[in-house]
Amino acid sequence: MTRIAVVPGSFDPVTLGHLDVIERAAGLFDQLHVLVVHNPGKTALLPIAQRVSLLQESIAAAGMRGTVLVTSWSVGLLVDYCTDVGASVLVKGIRSQIDVAYETPMAIVNRDLAGVETIFMLPDPAHAHVSSSLVRQVAALGGDVTPYVPRSVADYLQKDRG
């Protein structure tokens, strides 16, 4: 049986913390789908297509083992995507108790809806303070984001700034 998992998120933009979780998960499953999901609760910086291409570049540059696909999803439930591609597991990165509190109800609902289990993974503590919202704020105010994001993202945000 092919073990397929999905790592969903806004990835606006992908950070080194995200990449760390993706790499760890890629080692555990036969096929990993990194899924860019529109989160209506957040004001986006990057268009979805740009987030997908930055993820693809970052994953390729990291030379990850295993099959890692990057795609996006904007219609319907996240678990519908899982069912469509035969994935029985969602992987979420957990930085703190705040993340646990935010993710736990969604994990239970996703299991109730479609029997999809959620696995919480701990990133390297070096990335525990890194979030996309922090990166967006530092970039918007002209700060250096290179310690927090893959090279391609830093280059893109720098270029965007002109």
Q: Does 17 bind ligand PNS (CB under 6 A)?
A: no
| CB of 86 closer than 8 Å to CB of 50 | no
When binding is defined by CB under 6 A, the residue of 48, 62, 85, 109 that contacts ligand PNS is: 109
- Sheet hosting strand 31-37, strand order edge to edge: 67-73, 31-37, 4-9, 89-93, 117-121
Which sign does the torsion angle of CA 46, 162, 135, 25 carry?
A: positive
| CB of 19 closer than 8 Å to CB of 59 | yes
Q: Does 8 bind ligand PNS (CB under 6 A)?
A: yes
Q: Which residues in 76-95 contact ligand PNS (CB under 6 A)?
A: 77-78
- Please pick, among 10, 58, 127, 132, the residue that the annotation labels catalytic: 132
CA 151 to CA 159: how far, in whole Å? 12
Beta-ladder partners of 35: 8, 71
CA distance to 95, 103, 105, 156, per residue, from 98 (Å): 8, 9, 12, 30
Choose one: 7-15, 55-63, 123-131, 153-161; the region binding ligand PNS (CB under 6 A).
Answer: 7-15
Q: Does 114 bind ligand PNS (CB under 6 A)?
A: no
CA 70 to CA 53: how far, in whole Å? 8
Q: Does 44 bind ligand PNS (CB under 6 A)?
A: no
Q: How many residues bind ligand PNS (CB under 6 A)?
A: 11
Q: Which residues in 124-143 contact ligand PNS (CB under 6 A)?
A: none
**CB 78 to ligand PNS: min, Å:** 4
Q: Does 9 bind ligand PNS (CB under 6 A)?
A: yes
When binding is defined by CB under 6 A, the residue of 5, 6, 10, 17 that contacts ligand PNS is: 10
Interface contacts to ligand PNS, rule CB under 6 A: 8-10, 37, 39, 42, 77-78, 106, 109-110
